A = this chain, B = another copy of it.
Amino acid sequence: MDRFEVSYRLVANDRNEAQSLAEAVALEDTLEIPRDVVPAGYIEDVVLGRVEAVDQTDETAWSARISYHIDAAGRELPQLINVVLGNASILKGVKALHLSPNADIDERFPGARFGADGLRRLTGRATGGYVCPVIKPQGSSAETLARLCYLTARAGADIIKEDHGLANQDAAPFRERVRLCAAAVARANAERAEEGDHTRALYLPNIGGHGDQVRDLAFYAKEAGAGGILLIPGLFGFDAMNRLAQDPSFGLPIMAHPSHLGPYVLSPDHGYSHGMLFGEMMRLAGADISVFPNHGGRFGFSVEECAEIVTACRSDGGIGRPILPSPGGGMSIDRLPDMIRLYGHDCVYLLGGSLLRYGDRIGDAIREMRAALGS
């Protein structure tokens, strides 16, 4: 295939309207000029998006497959996203459902460095779901947060994720916080190793600072001993994540957080499908772990939407390596058995605010999570 494809859901009243809207998307995301002034030759034949098929799926909904040539995107992710859903994101009734990569995409956007398999190696956790406490709340001192890191790591946590609201505020500035938390997790890991435990906890600080500091802060975290990072593509851009993922000198796993991305999935008529945003786009941008709100928590995702995300994170034909889904958002330990049925073992199970109810006994919560996960 010399072109990659994106399928869209289009809102239209009849076939003509659907076909016109599909042609509009193909134009809008590439040339953005009226069809009658498109220059013949390379621009029309190669650069212009091409409508491959338009099929009715519902009374007012149509499915359109549109193919694009890599020349329209080039080598940088921002322009690839511009082609997939740039100006067309502003057209009424256009939702991107699925990206089918071709060899050009595979070569230029290789995806996650570690993915699901790599995380097994990095944590030493050969089987079973990952126990992932979330360290919070913001406003706490770096010492308080580091203590939570130590207690949860000591009790056997696999991944220790910072709350996405821990940025660079005065209460716990990024560098001070990361230094103390990484040291706390290192101490717990050393104690685990002494006891013969072959697993270790990875501490993932949230990159908090300016957009042009992402690389510096990520490398600072690495030097301090972090086991990976948390990054918010909805604030820093998907390419910020991909640049770290593709940088061999960084070489740590990346967990993507969904903050600020809600409007891309909440409307049935606009943005991305749940699977495309939290699965395919995250793989495209090099995330190893994709955080999203579990059904039945504080957010309104359905079971089907969560299942779609999981499939998109894991599918074999997707971009790069399969990655780990990470459902969260108001979870509690008694929901874990139910969650395992949906998410299985290749999954990072988040537990956040409710951990704080345990106070100094937070280690008990980690052990209860492990027991509930049956691993």
Contacts and interface: CB of A to CB of B under 8 A. Distances in A.
Interface of A: 24, 28-34, 37-39, 42-43, 46-47, 71-79, 81-83, 85-92, 136-140, 163-165, 167-171, 208-212, 214-215, 232, 234-240, 243, 258-264, 266-267, 269-271, 293, 298-300, 352-354, 356-357
25 contacts: A31-B136, A31-B137, A33-B137, A33-B352, A38-B137, A42-B171, A43-B138, A71-B171, A72-B165, A75-B168, A77-B210, A78-B211, A78-B235, A81-B235, A83-B165, A86-B235, A88-B262, A90-B262, A90-B299, A91-B262, A91-B298, A212-B214, A263-B264, A266-B269, A267-B269
A261 B259 CA distance: 15
A4 B38 CA distance: 49
A169 B31 CA distance: 13
Given A34-B354, A170-B74, A208 B165 contact: no
A88 B238 CA distance: 20
A101 to B, nearest CB: 18
A176 B339 CA distance: 53
Given A37-B354, A78-B210, 9 more contacts: A33-B352, A74-B170, A76-B168, A78-B208, A78-B211, A85-B260, A86-B164, A263-B263, A263-B264
B24 A169 contact: no
Tell me how many chains of this kind the complex includes.
Answer: 2
Given A71-B170, A139-B46, A293 B210 contact: no
Contacts of A210: 76-78, 239, 243
B139 A86 contact: no
Given A37-B353, A78-B167, A263-B270, A236 B239 contact: yes
A236 B259 contact: no
Contacts of A34: 353-354, 356-357
Most buried by B among A47, A90, A258, A264: A90
B76 A167 contact: yes
A212 B240 contact: yes
A259 to B, nearest CB: 4
